[in-house]
Amino acid sequence: MPGFELFGSAEQKEVQDVLDSGILMRYGFDAMRNNHWKAKELETELQTQMQVKHAQLVSSGTAAVSVALAIAGVGAGDEVILPTFTFVASFEAVLMLGAIPVLVDIDDTLTLDIDAVKAAITPKTKAIMPVHMCGGIAHLSALKEICKTHNLKLIEDACQAIGATYQGIPVGAHGDAGCLSFDFVKTITCGEGGAVLTNSDDLATWADHYSDHGHDHLGTDRGAESHPFLGYNFRISELHAAVGLAQVRRLNDFITIQKKHFTVLKDALSTIPEVTFRTIPEGGEENYSFLSFFLPDLETTRAAMNALKEAGIDGSFHYYDNNWHYVRRWEHLKGVKTLYPMSQQIQSGLKELEGKTFTQSDHFIGRNISCLIKLSWTEDEVKLRASKMVEAIKSVL
């Protein structure tokens, strides 16, 4: 999965261009940069690859979610519906804006359950944020219809799913805004970085301004630029963008490799009757960065994880016992543990999380194992891994 596995001359060349110019900042210094504009080039490449009108680079995937929510008008006291299974950055971005994360159950897609979303909508709901976890795909058609009916914004967190498509269009390009991450362990990496995708001219302009202290980027004198509204510093550097530029041009090759390795492992595990696989909505194609499957119950899944570890199979995750990705262990969120006072609205909104149970989510996450698909495996390594996984899982059934 991580693009860093295949770093090579292409990445080195783009980075060297930046170092030769000496200009690491994406804005200004026009005469000194020898016409190297890596961030602008990467944005153009993303617009083509992601089939979207606008791409705004930012400093991280977390920043992308924060900016996407802000340009959608999410703010103090608003509620944002998101899944119980996600990365902590999703709710961190919501809280940063003074809004309230409303966590709801997932289904066998490992993404938002549609009935749970409908039940969670209140007059305070401003946006729905599906998270395409582990390279999968949320029920985008149904979610778009819900947003249309209730006049809500759809913000796609596609940080873990670059390269996945739904109805022929990349995920991240279906909502009012979409978010990508290019951190060190993503399929496309900048080291650190992210992007906001949108087909809206207004949202694109706001993302451009908001992510750079509110600068309007008009004219050639940065010091003379106006500030139409308040913003923050979510800029990406030219060095990070240079790495990403080389990587994004290789995206299709990366996805092809992932699919090949994924298929070998899935075909092997398909021979075990007790194993079932994560559902991909009709019309969708995942990015093959993880093979996600289910075992019969929690106890068997825990035993299988131990067996996989004993067999030397790394890169397999049981998120039920994970601190980063599933609501069960998010004690800092449930207890509103912060370094600064939170608003009473947020404290009240999060209070119900303390004792709330998510039985349906537990049912799926407790039985799920997600196996990372590496780009650097050889054909023999993939086959050996497949046989070891089958042997390990069968040993506990």
Paired strand residues for 180: 195
For the stretch 274-283, pLDDT in tens is 999 999 999 9
Distance, in Å, from the CA atom of 236 to the CA atom of 43, rounded to the nearest integer, reads 11
CATH pick for 3-251 out of 3.40.50.620, 1.10.760.10, 2.30.30.280, 3.40.640.10? 3.40.640.10
For the stretch 351-386, pLDDT in tens is 889 889 999 999 999 999 999 999 999 999 999 999
Both structure tokens of 323: 């601190």
Reduced to 3 states, what is the DSSP secondary structure of residue 106? strand
C-alpha distance from residue 256 to each of 42, 120, 247, 250, 374 (Å): 21, 38, 14, 10, 12
C-alpha distance from residue 274 to each of 224, 269, 300, 397 (Å): 65, 9, 10, 8
The fold of the 252-394 domain, in CATH, is Aspartate Aminotransferase, domain 1 (3.90.1150)
Provide the residue ranges of all domains of the chain, joining segments of one domain with +.
Answer: 3-251, 252-394
Reduced to 3 states, what is the DSSP secondary structure of residue 365? helix
252-394 has the same fold as 3-251? no
Report the pLDDT value the prediction gives residue 352, as an integer from 0 to 100. 85
Give this prediction's pTM: 0.96
Distance, in Å, from the CA atom of 37 to the CA atom of 17, rounded to the nearest integer, reads 10
Report the pLDDT value the prediction gives residue 2, as an integer from 0 to 100. 87
Report the pLDDT value the prediction gives residue 354, as an integer from 0 to 100. 85
Report the pLDDT value the prediction gives residue 313, as an integer from 0 to 100. 96
Report the pLDDT value the prediction gives residue 220, as an integer from 0 to 100. 87
Both structure tokens of 10: 């292409």
For the stretch 165-209, pLDDT in tens is 999 999 999 999 999 999 999 999 999 999 999 999 999 999 999
Report the pLDDT value the prediction gives residue 152, as an integer from 0 to 100. 98
Report the pLDDT value the prediction gives residue 1, as an integer from 0 to 100. 79
The radius of gyration of the chain's CA atoms, rounded to the nearest angstrom, is 21
Distance, in Å, from the CA atom of 304 to the CA atom of 98, rounded to the nearest integer, reads 41
Report the pLDDT value the prediction gives residue 291, as an integer from 0 to 100. 98
Report the pLDDT value the prediction gives residue 355, as an integer from 0 to 100. 85
Q: Which residues of the chain have pLDDT under 50?
A: none
